[in-house]
Amino acid sequence: RKEVEQDPGPFNVPEGATVAFNCTYSNSASQSFFWYRQDCRKEPKLLMSVYSSGNEDGRFTAQLNRASQYISLLIRDSKLSDSATYLCVVMRSGGSYIPTFGRGTSLIVHP
Amino acid sequence: ETGVTQSPTHLIKTRGQQVTLRCSSQSGHNTVSWYQQALGQGPQFIFQYYREEENGRGNFPPRFSGLQFPNYSSELNVNALELDDSALYLCASSVDRGSGYTFGSGTRLTVV
């Protein structure tokens, strides 16, 4: 089983839709969690950190479920510009904070 | 605009050669990590440097090595290049371990 797993998609949704992605992780010692966005042939860019209490940034909401070992990203009112690959990152500590990326979930928002 | 710059942007090398990729991190970012990203995959962690010492390593052979310098720059060296080393190599820096990273735009390496 991979350390971090994501459904690769693609998720194909109309503008204005709400879409949610999940990411599961296998290492219960994982400490920090993030969502990154990567546009085609570009570098990943930090979208948001994921906190235990959940956090929201505009149309984006991130949740962490430690018991079930997954994180989620909810995008409301999808825009064409949201089309990208969304990468989840799980970081385990123990002194070295090794980040592990999922393979990413592709989102296509169409008119 | 990213505060992390990488050079070169593209590179073509022959199998068996050696390559050095360079990264200039944001000032004050004492943590730098390097990733290999194949097409259609997420970035794979190669190694991380914290205050000029290797601080963690992924599942890559010893022919992948690196250095971090006091001026927040770093480099990735790959010896005895193989065809499968063809990928996008990303450098990312962070103000501290455990924080989110800022990525450079990457070096696209092609091994022929």
| Residue B112: CB atoms within 10 Å | 9
**Of A14, A10, A17, which Cα lies nearest the Cα of A59?**
A17
- The pLDDT tens digits of the residues spanning B82-97 come to 999 999 999 999 887 7
- A102 contacts chain B (CB < 8 A): yes
**Of A98, A97, A35, A31, which Cα lies nearest the Cα of B59?**
A98
Residue where the block lists tokens 């989840």: A88
Beta A105-110 vs A98-101: how paired, if at all?
A: unpaired
pLDDT for B55 equals: 86
Query: Residue B1 above 80 pLDDT?
Result: no
Backbone angles phi, psi at B75, to 5 degrees: -145, 155
- A33 contacts chain B (CB < 8 A): no
At A103, the pLDDT band (50, 70, 90 cuts) reads very high
pLDDT for A95 equals: 64
- B45 contacts chain A (CB < 8 A): yes
- The pLDDT tens digits of the residues spanning B29-70 come to 889 999 999 988 999 999 999 889 998 899 999 999 999 999
Size of interface A-B (CB pairs under 8 A): 57
Residue A96 with chain B: CB contacts under 8 Å:
48, 55-56, 97
Q: Taking all residues of chain A, what is their mean pLDDT, rounded to a whole number? A: 92
Higher-pLDDT residue of B99, B108:
B108
Residue A98 with chain B: CB contacts under 8 Å:
45, 48, 56, 58
At A50, the pLDDT band (50, 70, 90 cuts) reads very high
Instruction: Provide mean pLDDT across the span A59-65.
Output: 96
